[in-house]
């Protein structure tokens, strides 16, 4: 059977003592109490079955959270991991995979993502109006789009670099 299956099962992971919990105070400047709080965020972890049925099982092995509840590290049983960083508003501003791929993001004061770039030298720029509606979008490959909205926040006009124009009216 070659049909691809993907399902998640709750699985309790116990006795987690990954090596990166050692010397955390020296490495990250957090107190023992702060790390107890972070470790208390470990919860029932999903088992991901991805691939041919009963094949390629990956158990979500370790999760670390900051004091705001944001996940800062994830490791699966296959050794793959992801690191995350957040700004003071809880917006994810950086993530990195164990294969070296990373993404950096910037946000405006309203929490709208205004810029992102990745390790493949690709970037995206976005602009928003005072109501939080996206009015401009541009990518590193030359694609762009402009947007306009009515007073109710409905998109009424869109134009892009491919020459596509959408003119919408609402009643």
Domain closes at, from 68, 100, 132 = 100
Compute the distance between CA of residue 74 and CA of residue 56 in angstroms, rounded to an integer.
Answer: 18
Q: What is the pTM of this model?
A: 0.63
pLDDT averaged over the chain? 75
pLDDT at residue 56 in the model:
47
Examine the domain organization and report whether 63 and 123 are in the same domain: no
Q: Which two tokens stand for residue 136?
A: 């401009």
Query: Cβ(104)–Cβ(94) under 8 Å?
Result: yes
Q: Where in the sequence is the domain holding 67, given as residue range(s)?
A: 1-100
Each residue of 55-93: b (16+ CB within 10 Å) or e? Answer: eeebebbbbbbbeeeebbbbbbeeeebbbbebeeeebeb
Question: What residue ranges of the chain have pLDDT lower than 70?
Answer: 1-59
The number of distinct structural domains making up the chain is: 2
Residues 108 and 66 in one domain: no
Let me know whether 84 and 124 are in one domain. Answer: no
Phi and psi at 39, nearest 5°, equal -65, -30
Do 32 and 84 lie in one domain? The reply is yes
13 and 85, same domain (yes or no): yes
If you search the block for the tokens 């009515």, which residue do you land on?
A: 150
* Cβ-contact 73, 82 below 8 angstroms: yes
Domain boundary among 100, 132, 157: 100
Clarify whether residues 6 and 89 are in a common domain: yes
Q: Give the pLDDT confidence score for residue 171 in this predicted structure.
A: 75
Domain boundary among 71, 100, 129: 100
Q: 88-132 pLDDT, tens per residue?
A: 999 999 999 999 999 999 999 999 999 999 999 999 999 999 999
Burial of 38 (0-12, 13-18, 19+ CB in 10 A): buried
């Amino acid at each position: 059977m070659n049909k691809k299956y993907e399902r998640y099962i709750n699985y309790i992971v116990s006795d987690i003592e990954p090596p990166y919990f050692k010397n955390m105070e020296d490495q990250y400047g957090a107190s023992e109490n702060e790390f107890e709080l972070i470790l208390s965020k470990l919860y029932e972890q999903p088992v991901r079955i991805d691939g041919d049925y009963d094949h390629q099982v990956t158990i979500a092995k370790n999760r670390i959270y900051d004091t705001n509840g944001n996940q800062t590290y994830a490791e699966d049983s296959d050794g793959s991991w992801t690191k995350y960083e957040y700004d003071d508003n809880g917006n994810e501003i950086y993530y990195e995979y164990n294969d070296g791929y990373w993404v950096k993001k910037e946000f405006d004061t309203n929490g709208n993502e205004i810029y992102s770039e990745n390790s493949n030298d690709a970037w995206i720029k976005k602009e928003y109006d005072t109501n939080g509606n996206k009015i401009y979008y541009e990518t590193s490959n030359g694609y762009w789009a402009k947007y306009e909205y009515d007073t109710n926040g409905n998109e009424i006009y869109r134009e892009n670099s491919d020459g596509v124009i959408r003119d919408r009216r609402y009643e």
